[in-house]
Structure 1
Amino acid sequence: MATIFLMIIYLSFISLGLPDSLLGAAWPVMQADFGAAFGVAGVLSIIIAAGTIVSSLASGFVLKRLGTGQITLISCLMTAGALLGFYAAPSIVWLMVLALPLGLGAGSVDAALNQYVAIHYKAHHMSWLHCFWGVGATMGPIIMSGFIRQDNLWRSGYLTVACIQFGLVILLFVSLPLWKRMEKVQIPVEEERQGHPEHLQDTQSAVQPMRMKGVKLTLMTFLFYCGAEATVGLWGSSFLVNVKDLSAAVAAQWVSMYYGGITVGRLITGFVTLKVSNRVLIRSGLLIALAGVLLLLLPLPTFCSLIGFMLVGLGFAPIYPCMLHATPERFGKEQTQKLMGYQMAVAYTGTTLLPPMLGWIAAQTTVAILPFFLSIYIAFMLFGSESVNRIMKLRSVRTITDSTQLKA
């Protein structure tokens, strides 16, 4: 029963990943179909992300009222309906209207499931959870590219993904009693919290989350990570079409390789977390992503761009799930529910601001600036992540010293 329940959680995250990569893959064709400006995709991205920010901030309150199972069901139903609307939308204005429920649904399920898994499961389960997001995000461009090859039928791509979402809605509805049963019987996983003994967690629980050392730097890292991930997803196809002279269908397939890198990387990370700490995985991922960006940046043959996209995805793979799972360890289990909502909100703020900003600048200049901006984002992430590591190390040393003095 526990295994079936875990698989339902994993499948729920497919519903989160499927819509995320569709717009970027389809936009070169949608832009021509609607006669829209290049940067309009950025506007749609802003609206989607704005919805996710609102629902993420409200997730703590809604979670107490409805529970994780009902939130997941309602969110998946909202995204399925919005995707069906994208299929039938007669104009850009309708896409803008439908983008809001698409974002609201994504934010709710993201915060709810991340909070649940961070508390009740170990680190490898968090990586595999986001691996299933990658499965959905990889499937999106593959499905879309197949229909784009057939006379640019991007609408059929959206319809297909909407049908998959409705299938997941049925599964979640049937499994609602299981959610309620498991939420009653499951207890939080107690892992070793090095440098975080019980008296320290009790002290932290009385402190406002934003006043805790390391929280703001962690939020900054989330902002730039999600901004960078969404930027590649939204503008990757346009970069390949306009800079590398590939067709829209081939570009969409190549972007699916980026999401494929994230998916495979998170599958591998799930096993690696059994031996390697979250801290080391985050640092290694950022360095691998930077190597991939350099392949996009340098004037190399076109196939190097494919390798670059895959490396960026592979490097990004451990960052998000490892940072999420480290939340209880870094700041105490009592603060996790609030901080998870804050982290989701700030992460989607990055999704809201950074991709449209690059789109606006690219419209004035060239989309070839994509790798330059990615390298800057990764530099900010490295600074934020390593700064938090230093704070946690100092806190650990101070706690050990205090404990020694108390025993003496």
Structure 2
Amino acid sequence: MGSFLLAVIYLIFISLGLPDSLLGSGWPRMQLDFGVPSSYAGFVSMTISFMTIISALLSPRLIRAVKTQWIVIVSIGLTILGLLGFSVSGSYWLLFAFAIPYGLGAGAIDSSVNHYVANNYSGAVMNFLHCFYGVGAVISPCIMSLALRLARWNEGYRWTAFLQTGILAVCILSLPLWKRGRSDEEEEEKESAGIGPTIRRPGVIYTLIAFFAYCSGEATCFLWVPSYFAGTKTGLSDEKIASFGALIFGGLMLGRLIAAFISSRLGDRKRIRIGIIVEMLGILLVLLPLKGYLIGAIGFLVVGIGMGPIYPAIQHMAPVNFGRKYSAAVIGLQMASAYVGSTAMPMVFGLLQHGIGIWIMPVYLTFFAVLNVAFLELTYRKLSRENGYRERIENNS
């Protein structure tokens, strides 16, 4: 039964990835239909992310009070509502109403399932889990591209909602598997620490800043990569531009797949450091002043590959770094910090590119990559002073 439950968890993360890349893929066409500036995508993205912050901050309490499987089912239901709402939106301002369930559905499911896997599975499983997130995030730009070719952008959201409904049905049918897979964990989760004591733990603030920086760069790519090609390259069709939304997600999926296979030989720290080096190489490719789009596309794919192992490695380290008692709150805080970055920084970039030009995107990504690695290294130094930390790392890497 354990393997069947793990398969369902992988499917859940496909569902988590499905909504994330639709706005970026469809926005070059959506903004024309709504008659708004390109930068207005940032406000919609900010609203979705703000609601995700709220649900992520509530997740430690939810995890103590509600079983993981019910958090998953309600959360997927909320994303379906948001997707269907986007599909019927005839005006830009209506998107904000449906951004509320769209965002609320993501935060709680992300925190609860990451907490469950970090405490019960290996680093390889965590990377495979986030690899399946990439599967979902790659599928949806393809759905949007097909919708733009055959119908309108609205159908891209509607078809994705139908796919989410199928995943929700599987999750409901899997409820007996969760009951058998829970064992003695419910009592342990009831005794887990809250946000107040957790945020005072050594190194927590640094890791939150690092997570903020990582997700600021990641979310900027999610939203603006298609617009980057629309603004810097000529002669590209709407369908081709929309398909570029899959580059980062495809890279994330590939990077996490590679990380899963090498996780037994490399600890979480080394995977993060190698990932950031690869990410910087990808940014350099994007910076090359070439007329065609191919090298830039390869560059963003490489950026995604480099980013791939960073997110799951940071989350997988939470129980080792801070202890199981604090891991639920740490992961909830990490998710909230991540979505603060996802909320504000794509919007900031939207305003920046509106005033300077979208060509500034690689420079923007470089800033957050440097910030990410700097605060992760500060986290390691802070934790290295804690008694027994080195021994725990050696036993769990």
State the TM-score, normalized to the length of structure 1.
0.90
Does 1:71 pair with 2:71? yes
Q: Within 5 Å, which residues of 2 pair with 1:106-117?
A: 106-117=106-117
The percent identity for this pair of structures is 39
Contact 1:141–1:253 under 8 Å retained in 2: yes
Deviation at 1:210, TM superposition (A): 2.0
Quote the residue 2:287 is aligned against: 297
Aligned to 2:223: 234
Corresponding residue for residue 46 of structure 1: 46
Post-superposition offset of 1:61: 1.2
Q: State the one-letter code of the partner of 2:183.
A: K
1:325 alignment counterpart: 316
For residues 302 and 142 of structure 1, the distance between their equivalents in structure 2, rounded to whole angstroms, comes to 18
Deviation at 1:391, TM superposition (A): 2.6
Is the 8 Å Cα contact of residues 24 and 225 (structure 2) preserved in structure 1? yes
Q: Number of residue pairs matched?
A: 386
What is the CA–CA distance in structure 1 between the aligned matches of 2:125 and 2:160, rounded to whole Å? Answer: 26
Confirm or deny: 8 A CA contact 2:124 2:263 kept in the other structure.
yes
Runs of 4+ in 1 over 4 A off after TM superposition: 185-188, 204-207, 396-400
Distance across 1 between alignment mates of 2:130 and 2:159: 22
**1:218 equivalenced with 2:217 (yes/no):** no
In the alignment, is the contact (CA less than 8 A) between 1:221 and 1:384 conserved in 2?
Answer: yes
Residues 86-112 of structure 1 deviation map (CA, whole Å, 9 limit, x = unaligned): 111121121110001100000110011
Say if 2:229 and 2:293, in contact at 8 Å, map to a contact too.
no
Number of the residue aligned with 1:162? 161
Q: 1:6 to 1:242 in 2, by over 3 A?
A: same
Post-superposition CA distance 1:296-346 (Å, at most 9, x none):
122134211011011000000000000000011111111101111111101
Q: 1:312 to 1:174 in 2, by over 3 A?
A: same
Q: CA deviation digits over 1:277-307, x for unaligned, max 9?
A: 0000001101100111111122134211011
- 2:379, 2:232 → 1: CA distance? 37
Partner of 1:255: 245
Query: Structure 1 residues 20, 394: CA separation in 2 closer, same or farther (over 3 Å shift)?
Result: same
Contact kept in structure 1, 2:271 and 2:310, CA below 8 Å? yes
Counterpart residue number, 2:337? 346
SS in structure 2 opposite 1:184?
A: coil
For the residue of structure 2 that corresponds to 1:213, the secondary structure is coil
Q: How does 1:16-95 map to 2 (within 5 A)?
A: 16-95=16-95
Distance 2:387 2:142 in 1: 46
Q: 2:358 aligns with which of 351, 367, 377?
A: 367
User: What secondary structure sits across from 2:289 in the alignment?
Assistant: coil
Give the equivalent residue in structure 1 for 2:276.
Answer: 286
- The 2-side partners of 1:258 and 1:39 are apart by 20
Using the TM superposition, give the Cα deviation of residue 143 of structure 1 relative to its aligned residue in structure 2, in angstroms.
1.1
Residue 395 of structure 1: CA displacement? 3.4
Q: Give the superposition deviation at 1:205.
A: 11
Cα distance change on mapping 1:392 and 1:149 into 2, 3 Å: same
Deviation at 1:209, TM superposition (A): 2.0
**Alignment partner of 1:358 is 2:334:** no
Counterpart code for 1:275:
R
The aligned counterpart of 2:306 is: 315
Which one is further off, 100-109 or 179-188? Answer: 179-188
Residue 342 to residue 93, structure 1, CA distance change in 2 (3 Å): same
Quick check: 1:205–1:332 contact (8 Å CA) kept in 2? Answer: no
Distance 2:215 2:323 in 1: 23
SS state at 1:299 partner: coil
| Aligned twin of 2:262 | 272
Per-residue deviation, 1:149: 2.1
CA contact (8 A) 1:288 1:311 kept: yes
Distance in structure 2 (CA, Å) of the matches to 1:166 and 1:122: 29
Q: Take 2:248 and 2:376, find their aligned partners in 1: how far apart are those partners?
A: 23
- How much does 1:186 deviate? 6.7
Question: Match of 1:378, as an amino acid?
Answer: A
For normalisation by structure 2, the TM-score amounts to 0.93
Displacement, 1:392? 3.1
Matched to 1:163, the amino acid is F
* Unaligned residue ranges in structure 2 (runs of 5+): 188-192, 392-397
For the residue of structure 2 that corresponds to 1:36, the secondary structure is coil
Determine if the alignment matches structure 1 residue 180 to structure 2 residue 150: no
Which structure 1 segments of 5+ residues have no match?
A: 189-203, 401-408
CA contact (8 A) 1:138 1:256 kept: yes
